[in-house]
Amino acid sequence: MTKRPKRAKRSRRPAEPWWAQLPTEELLDVRLCDLDLALEGTALQRRVDQLNGELERAGLVFRPYVYLSVDWFTPEGSTGFAVPFYLAHPRLVRLEHSQMFEAEGSTHDWCMKLLRHETAHAFDNAYRLHRRAAWRRTFGKYSLPYRDAYEANTTSKSYVQHLGAWYAQSHPAEDYAETFSVWLAPHSNWQEVYADWPALKKLQALDRLLHEVGGDKPVVTTRDRDESLPKLRYTLREHYRRRRGYYGVQMPWRHDTELRLLFSDPEAGGRALRAATFLQQNRVDLRAKVSALTGQYRYVVDQALDAMMQRCRELDLRLSRPKHQARLGAAVLTTMVTLALARGRKPRFRR
């Protein structure tokens, strides 16, 4: 009698953390340091592994170290970078969505783009690229101060398109990081995609620079982990309170004229749909579109929509045009109010 081959043992899934099934209100009272999270065995770790594979195929010996914190950022001078803690567990991704209306980097492609971007900053620190004359000729002065806000030229072809919100235009260091990310991404076909763009010269210059240093050992290595999760002794509730406070500063309202151009006064509108109701019905779509256009967190856009709806109620404005026209006008006005609300804030991405 032929014996059946033994089935390979399936690796057991790691046990669920003790807080995974807590109701949201109880979960919010858990301290960040008590989440006891790790990269190992997570989808995030697999994406970091993919990143390392991309670096290897590109002929770069550098590998960044990655650790959990509260945001995406590369500490000044560090050869590693932080990623948001919520990416280490699906329950925390859902919590992030519930608190901030999005979870930055929660999809595979989005996460890979951010990983490449932060790797660019870590690589720069490891090889001190920005001190080289070739880097400065290509991207500009690294020493320029970061601006709290920047006006993007949306028709410019001197910068690559990667993270969105024309982020490469915000600073020479971000121009470099976005160019590095496009260069590194598999199947980006940057030679063809940017063939007619002035940005191609930046890609070609960076290609030469990376081939020059990429096979060498880094001249700088660090192990610092600024704001790493085990050091953070405040609760998730406090964490989100701080974030909402940061992105939800009150502003003086100056958009009555625009609202009245978009909607109508009650006498003109009769029994037409209330403008506040119309905005509420289209809130999710407006929030997503305006966030993508402006590069602002969806929470910021939501604050703008709250302010618009409140003022529409106070003025009792009504829908006075076809809905498809009103949706377009609402998107434009929401963008204006969002940018006004966000003025004086740092861009959403941090190096």
**Per-residue pLDDT tens over the stretch 268-282:** 545 789 999 999 999
pLDDT in tens, 238-269: 999 988 877 654 556 788 899 999 998 766 54
CA 90/CA 108 separation, integer angstroms: 13
Q: How far is residue 39 from each of residues 22, 87, 173, 207, measured CA to CA in Å?
A: 21, 9, 28, 31
Q: Residue 221: how many CB atoms within 10 A of its CB?
A: 13
CA 259/CA 275 separation, integer angstroms: 9
Mean pLDDT, the chain, rounded, equals 89
CA 123/CA 222 separation, integer angstroms: 12
Strands 65-69 vs 80-84: parallel, antiparallel or unpaired:
parallel
* pLDDT score for 248: 57
* pLDDT score for 128: 97
* pLDDT score for 8: 46
Closest CA to 184 of 134, 120, 107: 120
Phi then psi for residue 322, to 5 deg, are -55, 145
Q: How far is residue 202 from each of residues 82, 194, 205, 291, measured CA to CA in Å?
A: 27, 10, 5, 28
Q: Is 80 left (phi over 0), alpha (psi -120 to 50) or beta?
A: beta
Contacts 24+ apart (CB under 8 A), 92-95: 92/35, 95/24, 95/27, 95/28, 95/236
* pLDDT score for 346: 44
Closest CA to 346 of 179, 165, 210: 165
Check if the beta carbon of residue 232 is closer than 8 Å to that of residue 219: no
* pLDDT score for 294: 85
Return the higher-pLDDT residue of 58 and 98. 58
To the nearest whole percent, how much of the chain has pLDDT over 70?
89
DSSP state of 260: H
Exposed/middle/buried for residue 349 (C-beta within 10 Å: 0-12, 13-18, 19+):
buried
pLDDT higher than 50, residue 1: no
Range in 35-39, 207-211, 262-266 with the lowest mean pLDDT: 262-266
pLDDT higher than 80, residue 303: yes
Exposed/middle/buried for residue 162 (C-beta within 10 Å: 0-12, 13-18, 19+):
buried
pLDDT higher than 80, residue 161: yes
Domains in the chain: boundaries: 24-231, 249-342
Range in 103-112, 212-221, 305-314, 326-335 with the lowest mean pLDDT: 305-314
* pLDDT score for 167: 85
Confidence of residue 154 (pLDDT cuts 50, 70, 90): confident
Q: How many residues does the chain have?
A: 351
Q: Facing residues of 31 across strands?
A: 235
Closest CA to 161 of 182, 146, 142, 147: 182
* pLDDT score for 262: 93
Return the higher-pLDDT residue of 203 and 341. 203
User: Where would I find the H helices in the chain?
Assistant: 24-27, 43-57, 90-100, 108-127, 133-139, 172-184, 190-193, 199-213, 236-247, 256-262, 266-269, 275-281, 283-294, 298-315, 323-342
Cβ burial 265-292 (10 Å sphere, 16+ → b, else e): eeeebeebebbbebbeebbeebbebbbe
Q: What is the pTM of this model?
A: 0.77
Mean pLDDT of 219-242: 95
pLDDT in tens, 11-35: 455 678 999 999 999 999 999 999 9
